[in-house]
Chain A
Amino acid sequence: MSNVAQIPTSFGHELRACLRCRLVKTYDQFRESGCENCQFFNMDKDHEMVGECTTSNFTGIISVMDPTRSWAARWLRIGRFVPGCYTLAVSETLSGELQGICEEHNIPYVPPKRS
């Protein structure tokens, strides 16, 4: 399958999650090929963006093989993203500037819920 997101190559604290789509990869993977769902962040071209658009502060991993038919993916609102490893929740929000970029590209962004 061609449209599967990269699978993290290591575990633990090297992992980062995209703040918009919650895709989980290693820092290096984000630097090399950006985020498969959020290409408009251009993380692969602008490496500073990796730090801004991703976080290492997340909980839980879900590997989604079949997003369209997975109940968990639908519940977590990642049913329309590419298959890949995601996190259940991130606790940080995108900065206002980056949210602006989302708006420019007409991409919806849902900030994580604060409990």
Chain B
Amino acid sequence: MARDKTLVQNRDDDEEFSEKGDYNIHGSRIRASNGGGGGSKSRGGLSRKRRRLIFVDDVAEEADDDDEEEEDDDYYEDYGESRKKRKQNSAAAPFIDDQAIVASSDEEESTDGEGEDPFIVSNDDQEDDDDRRMGHGYRPHPWLSDGEEEIEEIERRIQQRYQSYDEEIDEANINDVEQQSRLPSVKDSKLWTVKCVIGREQEAAFCLMQKCAIDQPGMHIRSAIALDYLQNYIYVEADKEAHVREACKGLKMLDTRKIVVVPIKEMTDVVSAKGKALDFVKDMWVRMKIGI
């Protein structure tokens, strides 16, 4: 009787999209109503405070439920099934009471006739199928699976898959979402501003290239950026300030006395080349700067 009542109450709660807490409250209220009688009428009158008070009890009851399930697990030896139950238990809390009823009925069924039950028999068949598919003489436990070896296997497979995936996406086929995933993080090298003689920013970038890629390989800087619209500074990408200093040593247009790191959030702004690029259209007026 009490169970039926709770069922009804839970249905009500389902309509309200209640959370797990609600279920628990009603769970304990079963006990209350067993003793006192009138269950559903007082329901609306329950104050928040009281709900809170009852909560402690509920945890205990929930734990009991779990225990029951464990028993079921042992009994059935059907891990797939029990896992499903467990999943629902956590994800769809409002439905737990329904499930409990189903579970108990299952138990009854299975005690009635063990091997003869068609349900069980079909299960065995499935087990055999599984065994054949896995190529093992036994069925591995989904959680405590074959131990290290299998984990390594999975790891290897994931890595393989990821690698090939990475190769597949060439630089070209990247959408905005993937571009977002390339946003700078703390793991990436940093950008440092280095003061440079006005008008020689481009030259400095080329000179750094010459020095670090050809003349003195073994420098640790990754890139050097000269922006058209930013005079007096260039950016150098490196892990450490010392690397920047080392690379800039000997370049007279660069002043290494004041090297400042660019905040990670501003790094994308540096390289995103704010559209100063000119679009020439036919019959458009232009201003000559360097003669024809």
* Number of residue pairs A-B, CB distance < 8 angstroms: 132
Q: Which of A79, A89, A109 has the most CB of B within 10 A?
A: A89
CA distance in complex: A74, B180 (Å)? 12
Determine whether the beta carbon of B209 is less than 8 Å from that of A84.
yes
B110 within 8 A of A: no
Within 8 A of B (CB), among A37-91: 57-66, 69-80, 83-85, 88-91
Q: Are B172 and A71 in contact (CB under 8 A)?
A: no
Q: Is the pair A72, B271 in contact by a Cβ cutoff of 8 Å?
A: yes
**1/0 per residue B181-192: CB within 8 Å of A?**
010100011010
Give the CA-CA distance A7 to B212 in the complex, in Å: 12
> A64, B273: Cβ atoms under 8 Å?
no
Within 8 A of B (CB), among A1-42: 1, 4, 7-8, 11-13
Beyond A7-B206, A60-B228, A65-B209, is A77–B222 a contact (Cβ under 8 Å)? Answer: no
Interface string of B168-199 (1 = CB under 8 A from A): 00111110000100101000110100000000
B193 to chain A, nearest CB (A): 14
Most buried by B among A73, A74, A85, A110: A85
B225:A60 contact, CB within 8 angstroms:
yes
Residues of A within 8 A of B173 (CB): 108
Given A70-B237, A91-B278, answer yes or no on A108-B273 (Cβ-Cβ < 8 Å).
no
In this complex, how many residues of chain B approach chain A with their Cβ under 8 Å: the count is 47
Once A57-B277, A60-B227, A80-B170 are accepted as A-B contacts, the answer to whether A11 and B214 lie under 8 Å apart by CB is no
- Which of chain B's residues have a CB closer than 8 A to the CB of A109? 172
Interface size on A, residues (CB 8 A): 41
A33 to chain B, nearest CB (A): 15
Point out the residue from A11, A58, A63, A76 that lies within 8 Å of B277, measured CB to CB. Answer: A58
Q: Which residues of A contact B221 (CB under 8 A)?
A: 65-66
List the 9 closest pairs (A to B, CB-CB), nearest first.
A108-B172, A91-B277, A63-B209, A88-B273, A70-B222, A71-B188, A89-B273, A77-B171, A63-B224
Binding site for B on A (CB under 8 A): 1, 4, 7-8, 11-13, 57-66, 69-80, 83-85, 88-91, 108-110, 112, 115
- Give me 7 A-to-B residue pairs in the complex whose CB atoms sit less than 8 angstroms apart, sorted by A's number: A4-B214, A7-B214, A62-B205, A71-B189, A73-B223, A91-B275, A91-B278
Q: A8-B206, A61-B201, A65-B212 are in contact. List 7 more A-B contacts (CB 8 A).
A: A7-B209, A12-B202, A60-B225, A71-B188, A71-B222, A75-B182, A84-B209
